[in-house]
Amino acid sequence: MLRPHVGRFALATLMLLIGSSLTLVYPQAAREAIDAGISDASSAKLNWLAAAVVVVFVLNAAVTWARHYLMSWLGERVVAELRSKVYARLLQQPLSWFHERPTGELTGRLAADVGTIQSIVGSELSMALRELVTLIGGLVMLFYQSWELTIGMLLIIPPVLVTGFAFGKRIRKMSAAVQDKLAETSAQVQESAAAISTVQAFRREGKEIERYDQRVDAFFKAALQLSSWRGLFIATMSLLGWMAVASMLWLGGRQIIAGTLSAGDLTAFLLYTTMVAFSLGGLANLWGSLQSAAGATVRLFDILDRVPEIRDADDAVALPASAGRFAFVDVRFSYPARKDTAVLDGVSLQVEPGETVAVVGRSGAGKSTLAALLYRFFDVDQGSVVVDGVDVKRARLSDLRGRLAIVAQDPVLFSGSIHDNIAYARPDASRDDVVRAATQAHAHGFTTAFSEGYDTLIGERGVKLSGGQRQRLAIARALLADPRILILDEATSSLDGESEALVHDALQTLMKGRTTLVIAHRLSTVKDAHRIVVLDQGKIVDVGSHQELVRREGLYRTLVEHQLVAA
Ligand code: ADP
């Protein structure tokens, strides 16, 4: 993901190299100062050296700023792009993928995982590079200063590597556990916030708080365990570093006594050793964070690399000019989450353009599943779903879905204005289009009754609308979408008389000239349907008009009698 920004990355690296090289100059100055300045008692040289050191440090400060800015820019940029990419990928995943995980976990994870990566790319990567440059540069200078001492110093590298690897694996595992625990707490917040009225109605606040506390506590324990291991890791590393410095002091001191090394040389040597040891410690610490980030990246790239099962086929075709015919051909289907239960078991049904077909049956018979398959939210196990002569698996998804519109039982309204919600079907719709659709759907009246009219905010943070009003907005939305095929998932909850009449009337307008599949829970629209299909346990058990079906001794009559399809 850094690739598009390679120019800036190179510039940042250059700044980093300059900065680190400048840092490496300073022990040389110290050596000169001690040997030439102090030992030779030359104050002119000392003044000159002190001034040079100040210049070096000022330069270093400027370069540090540039490096920091450039690296942060890269980090923020990459993370912003990562967020967008992950979100885009998320929206392409099939419904079944979302059914498998709670929404809160998803959002929590996205925030936490991206955050972890942000700190890596934004600052730690640049620190790692700087430490690495200092380490290598320091080692080179050490070697140049005294190769015998350097070889002695290098003895600390094997224990550092062993410690790094030994701790790294464990830290990565713990860190994934911490992220999991955090995601669980977010999942609960999301869930209880969404169902707050149920929580309060059943006086479950106490229990929910208890459950949350348990999760927070589990998170706390996991985080603490992680910290204690990371702390131990850092302490071990720093111990190794200082041991190296101490042994150099001892070894170098002996050489001074033997007269083979000057005091300035040893000073420079010790400064380099400290730099190298600090860089090693820093790198080891970063290794720890990298291990933490590894868990986060794996999960994010899991999402990024996930090719959705439901997508355009390579040879996907455009749907032919609108007709609005569709068919289920010997469809067998079970939900991915419950593969062993057949929800549809050999359903065949052909619906002609302009026809209205109602599907009735007991709850759980598989009625809504038919609509989901028409949308290709899931792929059938056997048989096929055909829209305007094209198998939905071969049709371009956006063509297919553009041909359909659904008015659901409980229409989903997004936070935003009434205008935005109606125009959700067609974002480029003008205000006139929206008003026209709303008028036809009998939504204009109540909308203009609000002081802000079409700009009235609804949804989570706006005014609450009644069931009938929400349905009429959904109808306006569908009218604007102007689909060839309409799916009506009828409301189970009965609306009051007036509202019901308005909704019914709006639906009649919407259905005009379109093919309609009614998923019926009540009788009102069913009676007017051209054909009624009776579905039972995933099979079509009867087809006919209302009159025909009530005359037969079948499930339909039972449903009507028991008011499962309430008259
Ligand atoms: P209806 O609309 O006739 O009430 P549905 O089509 O909604 O019935 O459901 C048919 C069956 O499929 C039911 O047994 C239901 O429990 C099951 N089902 C519905 N959605 C899912 C899902 N996402 N995962 C697993 N099973 C599901």
- Which is the closest atom of ligand 1 to the Cα of 359? 3
Distance from the CA of 352 to the center of ligand 1, in angstroms? 26
Give the ligand 1 atom nearest the CA of 363: 4
**With a 6 A CB cut-off, is 369 part of the ligand 1 pocket?**
yes
Model confidence pLDDT, tens digit, residues 290-336: 777 777 787 788 888 888 888 898 989 998 887 899 999 999 999 98
Give the distance (Å) from ligand 1 centre to CA of residue 372: 10
The 10s digit of each residue's pLDDT in 483-492 is 999 998 875 5
Structure tokens, 241: 């570093």
- The CB-side HSE value for 211 (13 A sphere, CA atoms) comes to 14
The pLDDT assigned to 98 comes to 87
Q: What pLDDT is recorded for position 174? A: 87
Residue from 341, 343, 540 whose mutation best tests the ligand 1 pocket (most atoms within 8 A of CB): 343
Q: Where are the beta strands (DSSP E) in 285-366?
A: 326-333, 344-351, 356-360
Question: If you measure from the C-alpha of residue 558 to the centroid of ligand 1, how many angstroms do you get, rounded to a whole number?
Answer: 22
**Separation of CA 259 from chain center:** 65
Atom of ligand 1 nearest to the CA of 519: 2
Return the pLDDT at 388: 94
Ligand 1 atom nearest to CA at 372: 6
Q: Where are the domains of the chain?
A: 3-304
Pocket of ligand 1 contains residue 337 by CB under 6 Å: yes
Q: Is the distance from the beta carbon of residue 97 to the nearest atom of ligand 1 less than 6 Å?
A: no
Q: Rounded to a whole number, what is the distance in angstroms from the first to the last CA of the chain?
A: 60
> Which residue's CA is minimally distant from atom 13 of ligand 1?
364
* Beta strand segments in 397-550, E: 404-407, 416-417, 457-458, 485-489, 515-519, 531-536, 539-544
CA-based nearest residue to 91, from 260, 373, 308, 300: 308
In short, whether 338's Cβ falls inside 6 Å of ligand 1 is yes
Nearest one of 71, 65, 189 to 126, comparing CA atoms: 71
Alpha carbon distance 244, 39 (integer Å): 27
Nearest residue (CA) to ligand 1, atom 6: 366
Buried-exposed string 219-240: b where 16+ CB fall within 10 A, e elsewhere: beebbeebeebbeebbebbbeb
Cα 366 to ligand 1 centroid, rounded to whole Å: 6
Q: Is the CB of 334 under 6 A from ligand 1?
A: no
C-alpha 492 – ligand 1 centre gap (Å): 16
The tokens for 230 are: 């990371």
Residue nearest atom 25 in ligand 1 by C-alpha distance: 335
Q: What angle do CA 187, 190, 192 make, to 5 degrees?
A: 105
Please tell me what DSSP assigns to residue 307.
-
Residue 509 Cβ contacting ligand 1 at under 6 Å? no
Q: What gap in Å lies between CA 526 and CA 221, rounded to an integer?
A: 58
Q: How many angstroms is it from 467 CA to the middle of ligand 1?
A: 23
364 lines ligand 1 (CB under 6 A): yes
What is the CA(473)–ligand 1 centre distance, in A? 26
CATH architecture of the domain with residue range 3-304: Up-down Bundle (1.20)
Q: What are the structure tokens assigned to 298, written together?
A: 């794996």
* pLDDT digits (tens), the chain, 567 positions: 888 999 998 898 898 888 888 888 888 888 887 887 666 677 787 888 888 888 888 998 999 899 889 888 888 888 888 888 888 988 888 888 888 877 777 777 777 788 877 777 777 777 888 888 888 888 888 888 888 888 888 887 788 778 877 887 888 788 878 888 888 888 888 888 888 888 998 888 999 999 999 999 999 999 999 999 988 988 888 788 888 888 888 888 898 899 888 888 888 888 888 888 878 778 877 777 777 777 778 778 888 888 888 889 898 999 888 789 999 999 999 998 888 999 999 999 999 999 999 999 888 899 999 999 999 999 999 999 999 999 999 999 999 999 999 988 778 888 889 999 999 988 899 999 999 999 999 999 999 999 999 999 887 666 788 888 888 899 999 999 999 999 988 755 556 667 778 888 888 888 888 999 999 876 666 878 899 999 999 999 999 988 888 888 888 888 887 765 444
* Residue 100 beta carbon below 6 angstroms from any ligand 1 atom: no
Instruction: Please indicate whether residue 559, judged by its CB atom, sits closer than 6 Å to ligand 1.
Output: no
**343 C-alpha to ligand 1 centroid (Å):** 7
Residue 212, pLDDT score: 95
